Amino acid sequence: MKIIDDYGSQILEAFWTTIQLTIFSAIGALILGVIIAAVRVSPVPVARFLGAAYVTVFRNTPLTLILLFCVFGLYQTLDISLASTSSSTFVIDNNFRLAILGLSVYTASFVCESIRAGINTVHAGQAEAGRSLGLTFLQNLRLIVLPQAFRAVIAPLGSVLIALTKNSTVAAVIGVSEASKLMKEILENEAALFLTAGIFAVGFVILTLPTGLLFGKLAKKFEVAR
C-alpha cells in the first residue's frame, strides 16, 4: 500500500476539498433554485419566461464550459475576483470560490425543476385558500406551498446532491485541488492504475452512499399522504 503511505494525507485533503465544494455549492444551489422555482410559478408572464430561460440555458450547457467561463470570463476578462488579491493564496482561493459559483448556478437549474415538480403536487385548492385569506403570492408560497413541496421532493433533491458531489470533480479543469485532480497526478507518477482508481472510487462511494440512504429515509419519514 505504497500509495496510501505516500499520498494518504493528500488524499484526505483532496476529499475534504470535494466535501467543501459539495456543501457550499449545495447551499448556493438550494437558495438560487428556490428563487428560480418561485419565479417559474410566478403570476407574472415575463418572470416565468426568464425562469424558464435560465433553466433551459444552464441545464443544456456543459458544466465544464460554465466553470471555464467563470475563470476566463468573469475573472480574466471582466476582472471579477472572489478572493482578496493581497492574499498569498489568491489564485487557489479565487478558483475555489469560482468553482462554487459555477457549480451552484448549474445545479440550481436542477434544484429548481425538482422543487417546481413538488409545487405541482400541492393541491390548487390550498393555494386558493391562502389567497382567500389575503396572503400575497410570496406569503402563500412561503407559508403554504413550499413546506409541502419540499416534503414531496426530498428524494429527488438527494439525487441532485449526489450528482453535485460527482460533478465537483469537474472543478479540476480550473485547477481546484479536489479528488479527481489528485487522482490524475497519482496516475501520472505511479504505475498502479487499478489500485489508485479503486481508492478514489471507494472514497466517492463513502461520500455518496450515506447521502442516498439518508435522503431515502427522510423521504419515507416525511412522505405526504395523498
The 10s digit of each residue's pLDDT in 52-83 is 999 999 999 999 999 999 988 888 888 888 88
* Contact of 3 with 199, CB cutoff 8 Å: yes
* Contact of 85 with 123, CB cutoff 8 Å: no
pTM recorded for the entire structure:
0.89
Q: CA–CA separation, 43 vs 76, rounded Å?
A: 39
Q: Tell me the range of 78-92, 153-167, 186-200 where mean pLDDT is highest.
A: 153-167
Tens-digit pLDDT profile for residues 94-131 = 889 999 999 999 999 999 999 999 988 888 778 788 88
Picking from 165, 156, 158, the residue whose alpha carbon sits closest to that of residue 114 is 156
